[in-house]
């Protein structure tokens, strides 16, 4: 496997991923090649690969993968008109992602290279385990207005409608691209996004980003279901990562769905949902349980004893969240939820700016999130306690097949 997939790896090794070492231009032009100490050789993490999630596969990791504890999610705006430069960035990002998910530093590493150039890797993940890091890329609707991609925009990649109660902030909405970084160590996730942003300098810029500190869903039903900031078990009835039949039916884009470049991919909806935890905390236990249609201790549906007992929807209040969101109330609609809790300081009114960064994967947004959210936005008892303040939708391309493949190849290259 080559160290870098870029067109001119030795030059990049010299000048750093940010292209910041311009002063070295003369040396580079003169053909000087520095033999920088490889961060890989120097890094003890490379010996013990425990906790690494396979980067290659038919589907991108980070969707059906057992949910990690932490999230750093970033949406990017494209800053270049140069299609070739953008494609090169996707290749460079892929190579960096391949290395970071394996617990290796980016490029030539964080130290040991040319003293005159910034190191390829920023260094804060040195010595840390791969921590099950996954990096998942998505393409937003606005990307298809660029680079001659108009005809390639999937019909399923619709702009989300305005739902009742939405109070979206522009600065937390949209994006040409996104990268979802999930890991069990927050520093590993942040390092990954930071280094991708750095590699993208001049070609992309971070539009908004979101940290998540606690998973609010599970794709491993055998494991303990995590709780959200309202204190309820969340993710009880989700698609499991091992349920390949349900994943094919509800999450992965099928061969006939179109366009061909999306086969094996998925669609991601991200919503920053503020939770009014102070109001919730003054609400009676009975009201809290009525809102969800499940009890707080066990997470059992109304009238049942155990969390995983089949819900009897009619026993729940008509506006109970679970009753409204359940597939039986929605012609079978099923999405894969993968959200995280967040707290981002205060709102300036003496309350925590806290909530759920909701992430949902589905085969078609028009048959998944949109009809579901239309119903919830109109009727859900939960609406008294939450507000959607950020929103984005992305086409998540299929997985990177092998060490010669790259993120977005099926969209940008004619090659099959």
Q: Which residues bind ligand HEM (CB under 6 A)?
A: 228, 230, 232-237, 273, 275, 292, 294, 311, 321-322, 325-327, 335, 356, 358, 369, 372-373, 376, 382, 386
Question: Closest CB to ligand HEM among 151 and 331?
Answer: 331
CB of 288: closest distance to ligand HEM in angstroms? Answer: 10
Our CB check for ligand HEM shows the closer of 2 and 224 to be 224
CB of 58 to ligand HEM, least distance (A): 25
Helices (H), 49-121: 83-101
Q: Which two tokens stand for residue 301?
A: 């549906």
The residue (of 263 and 283) whose beta carbon lies closer to ligand HEM is 283
Residues β-bridged to residue 215: 340
Listed in sequence order, the residues at least 6 apart from 256 whose beta carbon sits closer than 8 Å to its beta carbon are none
- Rounded Cα–Cα distance for residues 75 and 179 (Å): 7
Q: How far is the CB of 292 from ligand HEM (least distance, A)?
A: 5
**Distance (Å, rounded) from C-alpha 367 to C-alpha 253?**
12
- By beta-carbon proximity to ligand HEM, the closer residue of 65 and 276 is 276
Minimum gap (Å) between residue 383 Cβ and ligand HEM: 9
Query: Least separation, in Å, of the C-beta of 309 and ligand HEM?
Result: 11
User: In sequence order, what are the residues at sequence separation of 6 or more whose Cβ sits closer than 8 angstroms to the Cβ of residue 265?
Assistant: 59, 60, 252, 253, 395, 396, 397, 398
Cβ proximity to ligand HEM: between 133 and 269 the closer is: 269
- The CB-of-342 to ligand HEM minimum distance in angstroms stands at 11
Instruction: Output the smallest distance, CB 159 to ligand HEM, in A.
Output: 17
Return the bridge partners of 343, or none.
Answer: 354
CA angle 27, 31, 35 (to 5 degrees): 85
- Whole-number Cα distances in Å, 81 to 90, 145, 205, 407: 14, 11, 14, 19
Nearest to 149 by CA among 365, 395, 369, 391: 395
CB 218 to ligand HEM: min, Å: 8
Q: Tokens 């070492």 map to which residue?
A: 21
Taking phi over 0 as left and psi of -120 to 50 as alpha, with beta for the rest, 408 belongs to left
**CB of 220 or CB of 263, closer to ligand HEM:** 220
Please calculate the CA angle 372-255-416 and round it to the nearest 5 degrees. 130
**How many angstroms separate the CA atoms of 377 and 374, rounded?**
5
Cβ-based nearer residue to ligand HEM, 2 or 167: 167
Q: CB-wise, 336 or 395, nearer to ligand HEM? A: 336
């Amino acid at each position: 496997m080559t160290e870098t997939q870029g067109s001119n790896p030795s030059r990049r090794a010299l000048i750093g991923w940010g292209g910041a070492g311009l002063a070295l231009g003369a040396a580079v032009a003169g053909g000087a090649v520095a033999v920088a100490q490889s961060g890989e050789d120097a890094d003890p993490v490379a010996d013990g690969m425990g906790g690494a999630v396979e980067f290659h596969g038919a589907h991108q990791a980070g969707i059906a993968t057992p949910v990690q504890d932490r999230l750093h999610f970033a949406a990017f705006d494209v800053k270049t008109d140069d299609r070739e430069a953008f494609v090169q960035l996707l290749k460079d990002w892929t190579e960096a992602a391949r290395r970071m998910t394996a617990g290796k530093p980016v490029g030539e590493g964080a130290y040991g290279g040319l003293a005159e150039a910034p190191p390829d890797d920023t260094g804060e993940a040195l010595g840390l385990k791969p921590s099950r890091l996954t990096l998942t890329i998505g393409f937003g609707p606005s990307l298809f207005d660029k680079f001659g991609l108009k005809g390639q925009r999937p019909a399923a990649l619709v702009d989300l409608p305005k739902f009742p109660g939405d109070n979206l902030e522009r600065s937390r909405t949209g994006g040409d691209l996104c990268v979802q970084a999930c890991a069990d160590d927050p520093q590993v996730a942040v390092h990954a996004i930071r280094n991708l942003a750095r590699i993208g300098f001049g070609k992309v810029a971070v539009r908004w980003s979101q940290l998540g500190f606690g998973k609010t869903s599970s794709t491993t039903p055998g494991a303990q279901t995590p709780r959200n900031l309202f204190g309820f078990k969340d993710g009880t009835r989700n698609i499991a990562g091992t349920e390949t039949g349900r994943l094919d039916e509800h999450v992965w884009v099928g061969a006939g769905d179109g366009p061909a470049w999306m086969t094996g991919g998925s669609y991601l909806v991200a919503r920053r949902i503020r939770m009014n935890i102070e109001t919730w905390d003054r609400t009676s236990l009975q009201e809290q349980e009525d809102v969800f249609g499940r009890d707080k201790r066990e997470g059992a549906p109304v009238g049942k004893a155990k969390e995983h007992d089949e819900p009897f929807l009619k026993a729940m209040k008509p506006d109970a969240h679970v009753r409204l969101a359940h597939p039986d109330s929605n012609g079978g609609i099923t999405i894969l939820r993968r959200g995280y809790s967040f707290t981002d300081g205060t709102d300036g009114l003496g309350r925590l700016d806290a909530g759920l960064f909701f992430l949902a994967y589905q085969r078609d947004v028009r048959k998944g999130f949109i009809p579901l959210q239309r119903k919830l936005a109109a009727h859900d008892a939960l609406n008294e306690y939450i507000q959607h303040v950020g929103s984005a939708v992305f086409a998540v391309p299929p997985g990177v097949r092998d060490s010669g493949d790259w993120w977005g190849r099926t969209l940008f290259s004619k090659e099959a």
